[in-house]
Structure 1
Amino acid sequence: MANPPTLPISTAQATSTGATQSQPPIATPAFRAFISRLSASIRSGLSQRRPWSELIDRTSMARPESLTEAYSRIRKNLSYFKVNYVTILSIVLALSLLSHPFSLLVLLGLLASWLFLYIFRPSDQPLVIFGRTFSDRETLGALVVLTIIVVFLTSVGSLLISALMVGLAIVCLHGAFRVPEDLFLDDQEPASAGFLSFLGGAASSAAAAAAPVAARV
């Protein structure tokens, strides 16, 4: 019995089929790198925090005699308790957002829009909404406008500013009344480090993780 004839398969079709089958699912290495760098930065920052018992030690509290002394205390305490103070600010901000669920949902939606529509979206995959294709610049412009509207033209911005002001007031009040001890001077970091040095590490890590995104702008 004769064998049935073999149907020819074009090279282009075979190549296309093989490429389709061998193409791995869309991965998100940028997202994983961002999360890894962020978690490492947070762990490194939290390792520098001071014992909370030192922060709330009543025996070290005293009213400053002048504004100059209060300012000097605040500077020294900011340098020593910077991680604890950042934690206090974060707690105040979190409580404010939790007490206003709508604002929290709006901020989470805004953050998700930035992450999934621009930052971690592959640059070779254009954004298509309702059949219209948006370029990277158009997407970035729309997200910037949306951010300005949410932060400055709604109650979300006033809520964030109010929470930050309350947190800063707590930090400055504690710093002014907490008497610096001699151990502060032995454990001081360079003056150039400042209060935001803890946030600088996280910012630099986030910038390194988002470096591929800058090339798209």
Structure 2
Amino acid sequence: MATPETISAAGVSTALGSATPSTRAAAARAFLGRISENWQQALSQSRPWRELVDRTSFGKPDSLSDATSRIRKNVAHFRLNYALIFTAVLALTLLSNPFSLFLLCGLLAAWIFMFIIRTAPLILFNRTFSEREALALMGLLSIVVIFMTNVGSVLISAAMLGAAVICVHAAFRVPDDLFLDDDVPASGGLLSFLSTGPSPPPIASHV
């Protein structure tokens, strides 16, 4: 007799195995649409770049705690600007390493082909692979490309360089002239604009 657990597992396996190209394309479009919406929301939260590079607002921090406080406040205020700087550092680092950039572009193209463009089942060495097995193969390929080549070290170096640039700027940028919005949490971080947005205000009930 089949238990509810086995029925549930069978249902999940069937759903994964019956994913059609149109379903994958629809999911990809929804994902890209969400990224576009989050990006538009992020642009609405951007700060003027002249505030970021105002030379009169720079000064040496008095102590480590003062530098930490400045970093926290500046990251909360300029989080989108810093995210763009981080992205620019990552892009420039990859452009200076064409082989790593080529491998990453090839890996991205493989993911797009496997789960968006491909319309027929995956057949390798006279064996048909399910969607779950194809996902596992792509995950293994990604691990090999990132960690078995110099791509991983390039990405880590770029991330460390970008973080260092942001921390140095934020530590020397005096935040006394910044007025943080009340609806923006100070601990939002660089990628806080990727959230789904502020929650709607509660509806008051009348007795």
TM-score (norm 2): 0.76
What corresponds to 1:5 in structure 2? none
Q: Which moved more, 1:33-42 or 1:129-138?
A: 129-138
Look up the SS of the partner of 1:181 in the other structure: helix
Q: Deviations over 1:104-127 (max 9, x none)?
A: 111011112222213x367x8522
Report deviation, 1:133.
Answer: 1.4
Q: Deviations over 1:151-198 (max 9, x none)?
A: 111100000000110000000000000000244245561245333312
Which residue, out of 28, 31, 34, partners 1:34?
Answer: 31
Does structure 2 conserve the Cα–Cα contact (< 8 Å) formed by 1:76 and 1:184?
no
Amino acid at match of 1:69: D
Structure 2's unaligned 5+ residue stretches are 1-20, 198-207
Identical positions, percent? 55
What corresponds to 2:190 in structure 1? 195
Q: Deviations over 1:56-84 (max 9, x none)?
A: 00000000010000000000000000000
Structure 1's unaligned 5+ residue stretches are 1-25, 203-217
- The change in CA–CA distance for 1:196 and 1:34 in structure 2 (over 3 A counts) is closer
Report deviation, 1:201.
Answer: 4.5
Q: How large is the RMSD of aligned CA atoms in angstroms?
A: 2.3
* Count of aligned positions: 175
Does structure 2 conserve the Cα–Cα contact (< 8 Å) formed by 1:73 and 1:178?
yes
- 1:1-217 to 2 correspondence within 5 Å? 27=22, 28-118=25-115, 120=116, 125-129=120-124, 131-186=126-181, 189-201=184-196
CA–CA distance in 2 between the matches of 1:187 and 1:58? 26
CA–CA distance in 1 between the matches of 2:146 and 2:82? 24
CA–CA distance in 1 between the matches of 2:151 and 2:181? 42
Q: Deviations over 1:17-44 (max 9, x none)?
A: xxxxxxxxx7533333222222221121
Amino acid at match of 1:76: K
